[in-house]
Structure 1
Amino acid sequence: MLQRLWQARRIPLAWLLLSRQPLRLAVALAGISFAGILMFMQLGFRDGLFDASVTIHKLFDADLVMMSPRTMSSIGMAGFPRRRLIQAMGDPAVQGATPVHWNLLLWRNPVSGNTRSILALGFEPADPLFLDPELAEKARSLTQKGRVLFDERSRPEFGPIAEWFKQGRTVETEVAGTRVRVSGLVTLGPSFGADGNILTSRETFLQLLPGTPPGSIELGLIRLRPGSDIEATRQRLESSLPSDVRLFTKAGFEEFEKTYWRTSTAIGFIFTLGAAMGFVVGCVIVYQILYSDVSDHLPEYATLMAMGYRLPILLGVVAREGLILAVLGYLPAYAAGLGLYALVRNGTNLPVAMNSVRATVVFSMILVMCLGSAALAMRRLGDADPAEIF
């Protein structure tokens, strides 16, 4: 039995051809890994920036979101009449609603005195805003005029606000030229459109931005009764309300924001082009390696053909070489991607992380890259004629 298995074994010709020259194999794997890392980083940055654009959106306690049709993205929110939100409350499926003010204001660093744009959200402290149950307790402090909650995950350029507050110090600074005091900390995270966030009451927000039209808000969060059909309610409200408002499901609200950055800016194109360049670089490297390998071993291949091996069998050897290069080149690229993603998260607070979809996409691209290059290199083998070589 063991003797028959031994006799039936297949010689790993593809691996033997690749490993015959370790230095060439190492160079090939380094090139493939570099191309993989480039694709991981470009796609990771692209997806991370899209995810970062909806950092706040994901936290809202809402089933439906109302906003102006003139709004293009979170960096340019247009206002609409607050009474539209009150009208929506008349629908039997609506359980509650929260009017929200949304604008970028100038925050003064209390240490350096420099100003930087920060996202300010104004709401009624008694209304639900985020899914975090701890926010309701912290929001009570906002009932005092001139108080704000500071996002401790904001960029350090805003100053050591969280550190000072945790030390028990009184933290005061200016927002839009008006004196405010930090009454608590929240954990939200920066977005692509804003490096930091503050929460405040509607009264304080209007004090910070006195030019806000009376009765105008930028966002309306609508909560439905349990068991309600979200999409049916959205359609019903949108058809019954005037055309000066639009309604989205929460998922649709997030996708609306991502679509803006994906289609109305050069971000998606730039990072996708970067990934494509990594793919092309990898193709060139693998093709050169496999073409040289086939050329160097033409006499051996010709010998095998003269012994009766058919061309498709030898082409399969080259294809297996491409498959081996794809697998061995992908593993270090994946490991490096994990490390670089962690480095980017720690340095920028952007939500750049590995996921199964991106890992599969990059592996598929490397596999196509290697097998495609192998297919091109096979043409050299197809031109081989045992009679000419010998």
Structure 2
Amino acid sequence: MSRLLQRLFGRLPVGWLQLTHNRTRFFAALAGVAFANVLVFVQLGIMNSMSSAAVRPYAFFSADIMISAHDANTLSDGANVARQWLYQALADPEVAEGMGLYVTNVPWDRGMTDISLTTFGVDPFQPQFLTGTLGPDAGFLQLRDAALLDRLARGFNRADAAGISPATPLSFETERRTLTAWTTFAGGGGFGSDGYMFVSDQTFLRLFPARRAAAPDHILLRVTPGADVAAVVTRLKATLSDPGLRIRSFADAKAEDLRYQQTRRPTGVVFGFGVLIGVLVGLVIVYQVLSSDVADHLREYATFKAMGYRPSFFLGVVFEEALVLGVLGFIPGMIFGGGILTLMGKVTTLPLRMTPDMALSVFLGTVLFSALSGAIATRRLAAADPADLF
């Protein structure tokens, strides 16, 4: 390491030698930086998983425009909209087709555990609004009280899920009705529920007789091939004069949902503060180590200063120490942080994982706050008078 740093800085690696002179303090400092990195990795992982979970249900649908109530910040909240707006939207020459979407959370008593499933009521005769295997499997929903179950739902035994097929369907009770799951799809648990389920709009209304067919939660629209979605949205906003409607592209609805989850929901704000706290912990730890090192070697630094060495030399030495602490502390932090995220992902079925972008951002942040700590630590040295130190 000494030779590598000597080649990198073009001089004797004074900072490295000072750090490793007291190995106990050195390894304690590395442990502190690693701990701060673990905090940041875990909080970032949870934030990213929240973002992925928030937009995951949008991937189930193939739509261009969504009409919602004015207070519908996510797919699962807000008031209902009148179906009449679907028929008026279809009058636009570039709106090809539309479908009402019903959404609510449904409890499923699994004996030892209770599962909450975000349930979508869709028109089984319009499979083009569903993506992946959901489209071809939508035909099963034409059967009475049929369902498509999320095989990755939290609390749903994987062996039981794997056994569901058209030849061996699974019957279960919820909301005082018996549903039959004919097949499964890949969803996964989120922060609002343990998984997802699809039923037909008619099955949905039988599960919830207080709901009305004329009042879905959202209206999904598909435009004609080649149509400008933004232009269609603008026309619909002028045509559908109800001020209580939110008419936006499906992509904009997804982006606004994500932004709401990150900035307005308490979970997003809390996890954001968690990342900030992790950064502050690392900043304080590195500052304490570098400040103590400067204090311990103040006489040596004063000697160099009296010999005519410029402040840039001392700043370079402290930056060298900060770089060593940041880089060497990042490696175990990344390993332990990635392991914790993987373990949490298996337990919670949330999309918790270490990504290259996350690792790069944390590494750059670690080097940055280490350098900032070094700059703060050298302030005491810059103000010191060599004559006062002897």
TM-score (norm. length: structure 1): 0.89
Q: Note the C-alpha offset of 1:303.
A: 2.5
1:100 touches 1:123 (CA, 8 Å); kept in 2? yes
Shift in Å, 1:36: 1.2
Number of the residue aligned with 1:265: 265
Give how far 1:326 is off: 1.7
2:197 aligned partner = 198
How many angstroms apart in 1 are the aligned matches of 2:102 and 2:304? 76
1:53 & 1:249 partners in 2: Cα distance?
Answer: 17
Q: Secondary structure at the match of 2:164?
A: helix
- DSSP 3-state at the match of 2:192: coil
Q: Does residue 1:118 correspond to 2:113, yes or no?
A: no
Q: Quote the Cα distance in structure 1 between the aligned partners of 2:360 and 2:250.
A: 28
Distance (whole Å) between structure 2 residues aligned to residue 223 and residue 103 of structure 1: 23
Percent identity at matched positions?
Answer: 33
Aligned partner of 1:156: which letter?
G
1:363 to partner: Cα distance: 2.9
1:237 positional shift = 1.2
Alignment check: 8 A CA contact 1:53 1:258 kept: yes
SS of equivalent to 1:192: coil
Q: Quote the residue 1:70 is aligned against.
A: 71
* Letter of the 1:326 counterpart: G
- Structure 2's unaligned 5+ residue stretches are 1-5
Report matched runs for 1:137-286 at 5 Å. Answer: 137-156=136-155, 161-165=160-164, 169-243=168-242, 244-286=244-286
Q: CA deviation at 1:327?
A: 2.0
CA drift of 1:79 comes to 1.5
**C-alpha separation in 2, matches of 1:206 and 1:351:** 32
Quick one: distance in 1 between partners of 2:195 and 2:51? 17
Deviates more, 1:379-388 or 1:229-238: 379-388
Are the counterparts in 2 of residues 74 and 193 from structure 1 also a CA contact under 8 Å?
Answer: no
Distance, in Å, in 1 between the alignment partners of 2:265 and 2:91 is 39
Cα shift at 1:152 = 0.5
Q: Which residue of 1 aligns with 2:56?
A: 55
- The match for 1:352 is 352
Q: Could you tell me which residue of structure 1 aligns to residue 322 of structure 2?
A: 322
Amino acid at match of 2:196: N
* Rounded Cα–Cα distance in structure 1 between residues aligned with 2:21 and 2:208: 72
1:349 aligned partner, one-letter code = T
Deviation at 1:19, TM superposition (A): 2.2
Alpha-carbon distance in structure 1 between the residues aligned to 2:253 and 2:340: 30
Shift of 1:263: 3.6
Alignment of 1:364-375 (within 5 A): 364-375=364-375
- The one-character-per-residue Cα deviations of 1:97-150 (angstroms, maximum 9, x if unpaired) are 2222111223232x44x6543221111212123221x22322212111111111
**Paired letter, 1:368:** L
Q: Distance in 1 between matches of 2:18 and 2:225?
A: 65
User: Aligned residue for 2:3?
Assistant: none
Whether the aligned pair in 2 keeps the contact of 1:58 and 1:254 (CA below 8 Å) is: no
Q: How does 1:35-114 map to 2 (within 5 A)?
A: 35-109=36-110, 111-112=111-112
Q: Does residue 1:311 correspond to 2:311, yes or no?
A: yes
Q: Work out the CA distance in 2 between the residues paired with 1:293 and 1:214.
A: 72
**Count of paired positions:** 382
SS in 1 for 2:380: helix
Asked whether the equivalents of residues 77 and 102 of structure 1 are also in contact (C-alpha less than 8 Å), the reply is no
Q: CA deviation at 1:298?
A: 2.0
Correspondence for 1:15 = 16
Letter in 2 for 1:233: V
| Contact 2:155–2:194 (Cα < 8 Å) also in 1 | no
What's the CA shift for 1:336? Answer: 2.5
Would you say the 8 A contact 1:63–1:249 is kept in 2?
Answer: yes
Provide, for residues 5-45 of structure 1, a one-character-per-residue CA deviation record: whole Å limited to 9, x for no partner. Answer: 99x95222222222222222211111111111101111221
8 Å Cα contact 2:150/2:195 also seen in 1: yes
Q: Relative to structure 1, is the Cα distance of residues 11 and 17 closer, same or farther in structure 2, using a 3 angstrom cutoff?
A: same
Distance 2:209 2:158 in 1: 26
2:253 and 2:157 map into 1 onto residues whose CA distance is 28
Deviation at 1:167, TM superposition (A): 11
User: What is the DSSP-based 3-state SS (H/G/I as helix, E as strand, rest coil) of the residue aligned with 2:71?
Assistant: coil
Letter of the 2:120 partner, please give it. L
What RMSD over aligned residues (CA atoms) do the two structures have, in Å?
2.5
CA contact (8 A) 1:57 1:253 kept: no
Partners of 2:310 and 2:86 in 1: how far apart?
A: 75
Q: Aligned partners of 1:359, 1:80: CA distance in 2, in Å?
A: 43
Residue pair 1:55, 1:190 contacting (<8 A) in 2 also: no
Question: Does the 8 Å contact 2:41/2:338 carry over to 1?
Answer: no
Gaps of 5+ in 1: none
User: TM-score of the superposition, structure 2-length normalised?
Assistant: 0.89
The equivalent residue for 1:129 is 129
Cα deviation, residue 55, structure 1: 1.2
Distance in 2, Cα, partners of 1:167 & 1:334: 44
**One-letter amino acid of the counterpart of residue 341, structure 1:** L
| Distance in 1 (alpha carbons) for counterparts of 2:18 and 2:166 | 65
**Gap change, CA 1:334 and 1:189, over 3 Å in 2:** same
Q: Give how far 1:356 is off.
A: 4.6
Q: Report how far residue 178 of structure 1 moved.
A: 0.8
Do the aligned residues in 2 keep the contact of 1:56 with 1:191 (CA within 8 Å)? Answer: no
CA pair 161-74 structure 1, distance change in 2 beyond 3 A: farther
C-alpha distance 9-201 of structure 1, shift in aligned 2 (>3 A): closer
